[in-house]
Structure 1
């Protein structure tokens, strides 16, 4: 099948949701889903605790990109792990199911994004969800995304929650309910204690329906444009280069890095930048690649001892070996851990009208994204700024789809982001020092005097980095300067949409897989309405 009604580029959470919903339509269109990575997840991807070996290192499921040197981080390059394969970043992420705050989506609507208020997207979240707790006004139980409580959380994670409560924070059993604020265990995208990536959740295992063709190990190199319309895609795969024809639409679901890259390679983007690389300008859209936002994160690492903590030690290796059989039989034990088992959403000060900081409590040392190994067990207590003011961009490094793009988040270019992180770092130090967490005798790996304002700011600049939630580079809006309109149509190009995290006008207050799936669900409705 070299011709289809719809060609979807990218098999991550949005692309998988979109492809599955279109394929299940009453009058099913012909669909080609193009994915640069492989078809089946690795064993380490399926095992939740395997995240400890998939995120830090470049591998067949992780592009392991880097940012440009960041002036706000003392000239350091940030680390940008991105998933490769059917399932996208849901193959390597921490499986945390968080939607954000209702105000996030109401803000989108206030910017002119009609149809994207929280009341309008909540049914899409519920439609996608199969929550083990059952269905209610906030949750669904019949969708493809398996959402569950942690199968075997570490007792140390429970001690983190108790220590946070001792610091005046309240416990919250449902971050996706009426109120996000508080600390607790995260629900995870797992089924029977095993990772359920978005592609397997939505598409299942092959064979796929005859009207859905899935091309893996196939890279999209250029959108074919004729008379102001997207008519197909040039792809390169195992059999070489080929042209795919789209009778109705081409839909980009590559994410905040790959979607603007493909638009620019196709001549859609900032005219001067494209012309400087020798790319013919088809449509001058200066906002393509702009508006990059990400959650800047600081990690407090402490060597500790406790049940269920991970580390590169003989004792942990023995625990993993002993836990293999219970995991294979029941999906329980240390291998079922998503590592970031607990966390929460807190206010930087009583003046904040809603939570503006997020905590992740990890049951292992996460020093330099886990790339710096320590022969010890321990914990990593993360804090990130939920709605950063800093804005960056993505640009092509060359007119070659095989070359990584230039990623420039411009972290801490907005002074307010550093002010918030200072408050957050002080809070995580308070929690670490509170009982019952303190009784595990943690030794802080990178100590700092939190009472010394300048020392604390210097430590943040020396150690902070992304926690992997880039969005916004194909901004949705009602204004003519936006990349896509509220129906996700690329401005000035017929038959072309973008449906992934890149369309977010502003970053949501939390992890981004669930919102990205929702965007795929919304895109399916928009596409089917347009085609009916």
Structure 2
């Protein structure tokens, strides 16, 4: 890497960064440089959906962050896996294609973020999507991101849906249409049984473009700012510190943890905090790193009497796995095409809620401590997470270097309403898992058999809850004093600098965050192009 100049420099090759680099480089007259701290990411570990079980508990394509001790979780440190390769977290996630609730975006707009209502963002969801199984006014069928039904042929789909019917829940085959409340089988971002990460969708088909430069294993040091204008970046690559110049804009897409860190290391943040670490203050923006939040999540796990379609260690399971590997190689179907969290849906913790505030992820394996605690047994699990938590935390730096550990604090269960909503969530989910269609197959309840009272539920929530991997909000979009970017995603007080990723969400969406992050980047591309037209 020499000291070069580009029109646009994109920091971070995750879901948003891949969209930005792929879309902006469609114009052959514009030069784009994409910087990614991790590897290329185009390997079988990424492309085979079931191989996510390798990355999530390890440091393979994964930053594997830990939080600071969480007072709401009895002082435990939480675990925050985040993708570290081209594709970012879309290279290691459960591939679930969910956009959130329509009211999420209307609420963003009501907060002063004009242009972000549901009707205004829907075209960008549609533009990004190539849905192979649903054709209607809510979905796209020609976009780069491949979305389709699962190909696992799992017997647990029918059992889960039967249990949902036994509880009187509506069955949905589309959680991104007219309504969200109900249970069913998720659609996923895969193509012919392989993972369709954002890199595979937006980047890998275009690597030959002469105007697109990609540097992997590139560690961002800081954004270069002159006279309140972002003019480039300082990056470590190949053991050397280099400076790259940006003629038009620097686009920060490093995610909810790293984007605020990079801003702070560049002198943008709370003046007092920056000075504590000996950093020169370029722009006092007290909201950088604030408003950080995430979906708190609890998991039920059961060993089962019928192991077909579940993962675990047994002689019968090993024999079946050999067959499944062979089948996957030939057909790209079966268990190796699993996203693990195959079923789920959206429910209300109490009937008077306006919209669903709980999400379920039904998993065809035993899940304990983010797959870091091993159980040989075959089993099933069910996550339940709180979709609109009131607790807010922060991302803070511990020193003036990119290599200094981040202080990640989602502040789970800080607000009393969150723990009370999760008590109801626990009861609702347990009732579903105890429906006849599922309970008849239980052998052992691994964690909750002795839990009876509300106080015991609160205790086990604090003992075992953690993230379901949807961190957002640390560079929030808005017009208030804690806003970091305006509705055009431009950083306040700094020209030619935008943040484009999940960190800009004022409030986390009611669902998984990957599809909304891709939407944010698609919309950003239009805003960037519009600026150039008027330049």
| TM interval, short-chain normalised | over 0.9
Gaps of 5+ in 2: none
Is the Cα contact below 8 Å between 1:448 and 1:455 reproduced in 2?
A: no
Deviates more, 1:287-296 or 1:42-51: 42-51
- When structure 1 is superposed on structure 2, of 396-405 and 119-128 the one drifting more is 396-405
Give 1:6's aligned residue.
8
State the alpha-carbon separation in 2 of the partners of residues 302 and 134 from structure 1: 33
| 1:380 match | 381
CA positional deviation for 1:317: 2.5
* Contact persistence 1:222–1:265 (CA under 8 A): yes
Q: Residue 74 of structure 1 corresponds to which residue in structure 2?
A: 74
The Cα shift of 1:150 comes to 0.4
Farther-moved stretch of structure 1 (230-239 vs 335-344): 230-239
Query: Would you say the 8 A contact 1:185–1:342 is kept in 2?
Result: yes
Matches within 5 A, 1:238-257: 238-257=238-257
Alignment of 1:87-486 (within 5 A): 87-205=87-205, 207-304=207-304, 305-449=306-450, 451-486=452-487
Q: Indicate conservation of the 8 Å contact 2:476/2:482, yes or no.
A: no
Deviations 1:310-347 (A, max 9, x none): 11333323222111222112210110111000001001
Secondary structure of the structure 2 residue equivalent to 1:262: helix
Structure 1 length-normalised TM:
0.98
TM-score with structure 2 setting the length: 0.97
1:482–1:179 CA distance, 2 compared to 1 (3 A): same
Give yes or no for contact 1:153–1:337 (8 Å, CA) kept in 2: no
CA shift for structure 1 position 428: 1.6
Worse-superposed segment, 327-336 or 443-452: 443-452
User: CA–CA distance in 2 between the matches of 1:447 and 1:34?
Assistant: 45
Superposition deviation, residue 468 in structure 1 = 0.5
Contact preservation (8 Å) 2:67, 2:408:
yes
Structure-2 residue corresponding to 1:16: 18
2: distance between equivalents of 1:58 and 1:302? Answer: 27
Distance 2:125 2:188 in 1: 15
Q: Pairwise CA RMSD of aligned residues?
A: 1.2
CA drift of 1:152 comes to 1.6
Other structure's SS at 2:375 match: coil
Is residue 85 from structure 1 mapped to residue 85 from structure 2 by the alignment? Answer: yes
What is the distance in 2 between the residues matched to 1:340 and 1:43?
20
CA 361–390 in structure 1, closer or farther in 2 if over 3 Å, else same: same
Any conservation in 1 of the 2:365–2:379 contact (CA below 8 Å)?
A: yes
Residue in 1 that maps onto 2:526: 525
Matched, 1:505 2:506: yes
Provide the C-alpha distance between the structure 1 equivalents of 2:91 and 2:439, rounded to a whole number of angstroms: 34
Q: Deviation at 1:264? A: 0.4
User: 2 CA distance for matches of 1:112 and 1:327?
Assistant: 49
Preserved contact between residue 32 and residue 213 of structure 2 (Cα < 8 Å): yes
Question: Does the 8 Å CA contact 2:37/2:84 hold for their aligned counterparts?
Answer: yes
Stretch deviating more after TM superposition (99-108 or 36-45): 36-45
The CA deviation string for residues 427-452 of structure 1, in whole angstroms up to 9 with x for no partner, is 12111111211121231111245541
**Distance apart, 1:134 and its partner CA:** 4.4
Q: Distance in 2 between matches of 1:417 and 1:396?
A: 27
CA contact (8 A) 1:156 1:306 kept: no
CA spacing shift, 1:206–1:125, aligned 2, 3 Å = closer
Shift of 1:45: 1.6
CA distance in 2, matches of 1:520, 1:28: 20
SS at match of 1:148: strand
CA contact (8 A) 1:155 1:307 kept: yes
Q: Distance in 2 between matches of 1:161 and 1:372?
A: 29
- Kept in 1, the 8 Å contact 2:236–2:242? The answer is yes
The CA deviation at 1:473 is 0.3
Q: Equivalents in 1 of 2:9, 2:289: separation in Å?
A: 22
- Tell me how many residue pairs correspond in the alignment: 530
Shift of 1:495: 0.8
2:48 is matched with 47
CA distance in 2, matches of 1:262, 1:90: 21
Residue 206 of structure 1 and its aligned partner are, at CA, apart by 6.4
Q: Indicate if the aligned counterparts of 1:393 and 1:407 stay in contact, CA closer than 8 A.
A: yes
Give 1:20 deviation, angstroms. Answer: 1.1
- Once the two structures are superposed, residues 330-366 of structure 1 have per-residue CA deviations (whole angstroms, 9 ceiling, x without a partner) of 2101101110000010011111111010000000011
Deviation at 1:460, TM superposition (A): 0.5
CA distance in 1, matches of 2:336, 2:414: 39
Using a 3 Å threshold, how does the CA distance of structure 1 residues 4 and 429 change in structure 2: closer, same or farther?
A: same
Q: Distance in 2 between matches of 1:207 and 1:506?
A: 35
Alpha-carbon distance in structure 2 between the residues aligned to 1:364 and 1:349: 29
Tell me the distance in 2 between the aligned counterparts of 1:465 and 1:315.
33
Contact 1:294 1:409 (C-alpha < 8 Å) held by counterparts: yes
What runs of 5+ residues in structure 1 fail to find an aligned partner? none
Q: Shift in Å at residue 203 of structure 1?
A: 1.2
**Counterpart of 1:63?**
63
